[in-house]
Structure 1
Amino acid sequence: MTESPVKFAMVDIHTILKTLPHRYPMLLIDRVVNIRADYSGIGIKNVTFSEMPFLGHFPENPVYPGVMMIEAMAQTAGVIGILSVAGTEKPRAVYFLTIDKCKFRKPVMPGDTIEYHMRSIGRRKTMWWFHGDARVNGTTVAEADVGAMLAE
């Protein structure tokens, strides 16, 4: 099967800030790359020890929280959806609808770079569903199907 053409090779943090309403400490992606015409793309998160979750999760054994990976999947999907459809480029609220088939496979530690490989599995009006695989060094560390709705 042939891959769809790339629409956006790289979306930097400045464009993400113009696209999503999320801000620190809840903006959980640093950039999105290879957004394709089939509504797929890869969100990138550089995990650093200085992040707030590590104050309590867990101080002696820092593990990046799985729930934050799922939120980052939804944020990546939001960037892909908003930038890919004409007329939706302005900032919107993005609301979670569903999380299904969620699995956490390996812990993520400070120093890791997470790649959120997202692909659309359905769309109805302003509602989107994506399958996401979170990977570190090519190994899947988490996966889920996420659904979200774009709102004014």
Structure 2
Amino acid sequence: MPKLNIEEIKAIIPHRYPFLLIDEIQDYEAGEFAVAKKCVTINEPFFQGHFPSYPVMPGVLIVEALAQTGAVALLALPENKGKIALFGGIKNCKFKKQVRPGDVLELSCRVVNRKGPVGIGEAEAKVDGKTVVKAELTFAVQ
């Protein structure tokens, strides 16, 4: 099970604070899949306004964390070194549970189709083994 720490992740994807939303890659195979972890803390900048009296991680940021996980899988390919992966689409996105400070997001994205610079990934975020978000993500590598 190959793992990547934060510095190794930053060598693959261009995201930086405050928008780098994965802490560790726990397993991956370039071009195939990646499994990541995000430890959600009250110190996240988005909690200042979402919501001060009841902090909830915005769903779109959970989807972004899933996309960054998928981007690691795609951009780890030697031919994609130095490129970026942009959203091409989001389908069948379902939010099942809130994510709050103290939760550990378990993120996975499996690349199920690739044609040229476009890839499609099946992505899922879990907390304590329970699904919080599921979506099909389309990536455009450039």
Fold shared per TM-score above 0.5: yes
What does residue 140 of structure 1 align with?
131
Q: Aligned-pair distance for 1:38?
A: 7.1
What does residue 79 of structure 1 align with?
72
In structure 1, C-alpha distance between the alignment counterparts of 2:33 and 2:9, rounded to whole Å: 16
* Alignment root-mean-square deviation, CA: 1.3
SS in 2 for 1:87: helix
Q: Aligned-pair distance for 1:37?
A: 6.4
Amino acid across the alignment from 1:13:
I
Amino acid across the alignment from 1:12:
N
Unaligned runs of 5+ in 1: 1-5
SS in 1 for 2:78: coil
Q: Aligned-pair distance for 1:46?
A: 0.6
Unaligned runs of 5+ in 2: none
Amino acid across the alignment from 1:118:
C
What does residue 100 of structure 1 align with?
91
Amino acid across the alignment from 1:80:
A
**Identity percentage of aligned residues:** 37
Which of the residues 13, 17, 36 maps onto 1:43? 36
- Superposition misfits of 4+ residues, deviation over 4 angstroms: none
In structure 1, C-alpha distance between the alignment counterparts of 2:117 and 2:26, rounded to whole Å: 23
Paired positions, count: 142
Q: Cα deviation per residue 1:25-80 (whole Å; 9 max; x = unaligned)?
A: 11111111211367122111010001111001111100011000111111100101
Amino acid across the alignment from 2:140:
M
Q: Cα deviation per residue 1:77-120 (whole Å; 9 max; x = unaligned)?
A: 0101111x2332x2222211000000000000101100112111
Amino acid across the alignment from 1:148:
F
Q: Aligned-pair distance for 1:11?
A: 1.2
Which of the residues 33, 50, 59 maps onto 2:52? 59
SS in 2 for 1:62: coil
Which of the residues 20, 32, 38 maps onto 2:25? 32
